[in-house]
Amino acid sequence: MSFLQQAFAPIEAIAERVGLDPFVLARLRHPERVLDVHFPLVRDDGTKEILRGYRVQWSSARGPYKGGIRFHPQVDMDEVGALAFLMALKCAVVGIPYGGGKGGVAIHPKQYSDAEQERVIRGYAKAIADGIGPTKDIPAPDVATNPRLMDAFASAYAEVIGHAEPAVVTGKTLAAGGSEGRGRATAQGGFYVLQQVLEARHMDPESRTAVVQGFGNAGQTMAEILFHHGFSITAVSDSKGGIRHQAGLDIPALVAYKETHGSVIGFPGAEPISQEELLATPCGVLVPAALERQITVENAEQIRAQMILELANGPTTAEADVMLAKQGIPVIPDILANSGGVAVSFFEWEQNRVGEHWTAAEVDGRLHALLKEATRDVLATAEELGMTYREAAYAVALRRIGQAMK
């Protein structure tokens, strides 16, 4: 199945179980608007390219479209559409007044200088400017984009409309109107969700071991948070490979090592392992924090985790999800587990709209309260309807989107 088909796979059965109006389901099968743009780029050496970008606006039933912008060579309409649909569900699950959107530019970011990437985001912003706005569609950072690029996006949009409008994009630097806590929000929110689930399941102390796939911003921050709270992180990986240490990795030392060497590979005292070996490492919590479709029918049977926390978007295929359920491995789905990022994006948007700047403690307190309630809603629905956590999260989202449409 395509990624979009994967995202839709559980919908029909869940919609029937929650009594969703068939017309609501029919509307959710299609995006409300699709932007497919081409724009020029002048490279540092003066050569010129035509780049292709996308923005899919899936559902505005609950509010403006919301979703990140990614730079990746595999960006296409199917991927962006699936992520836009999942964003609509995610915003509904966490209870914030947004719909779902997603965007991207098909480039390999490591082949472009920082200056070139800034020109890419500016060109993209101007190409989609007539389709976005603080009450219409609010982008944010995603894979291979960052606060600096969001500042450039806001600057380019201001050039188009003739005045500054910081609420057009979230995930900016603090100096440009960003929110405290945004850089840690995805991982911090994931930890708050995990805490609730571990408490509800009364899991034993042995579950306090973790494996993290993906040592980028979200994965690294999650490893640091788990380490700080007494978890033993026995294996991690980045795009170049993985490492394992059964006694537990020294995460602060590993973070410093990666900053110096650009990868976790070669960390003293750890054995090198493949991504497949990493996923099969026994642990209490497996945290996929890389790209989508990492857990598949080819490797699901090898997973020995007691629980999976999806910090990445769509890391588990629909077929693998069924296999994991049969194996008794609960999966905390992405639309709940990684919703901390969009939650703090909402807080940033609120601050920009009213000209305020909240403290880090205030942002964290709001995030904790929001995700505690969202997790309880999902757990209660799972118990009420006899569903997996993913099915329950979808059920909560579909109910809320259906109510909004009506």
Q: How far is CA 366 from CA 363, 370, 385, in A?
A: 5, 6, 29
Nearby residues of 86 by Cβ (< 8 Å), 6 or more positions away: 7, 100, 313, 314, 334, 335
Q: How far apart are CA 337 and CA 324, in angstroms?
A: 17
Q: How far is CA 324 from CA 48, 110, 266, 331, in A?
A: 48, 35, 32, 8
Q: How far apart are CA 384 and CA 381, in angstroms?
A: 5
Q: How far apart are CA 211 and CA 213, in angstroms?
A: 7
Which two tokens mark 38?
């081409």
Q: How far apart are CA 91 and CA 99, in angstroms?
A: 7
Q: How far apart are CA 157 and CA 161, in angstroms?
A: 6
Show which residues are catalytic.
Answer: 102
Concatenating the DSSP letter of every residue in 299-366 gives: TGGG--EEEEE--SSS-B-HHHHHHHHHTT--EE-HHHHTTHHHHHHHHHHHHHHHT----HHHHHHH
Q: Are 158 and 165 in contact (CB under 8 A)?
A: yes
Q: How far apart are CA 273 and CA 15, in angstroms?
A: 41
How far is C-alpha 168 from the chain's CA centre? 19
Q: Are 316 and 217 in contact (CB under 8 A)?
A: no
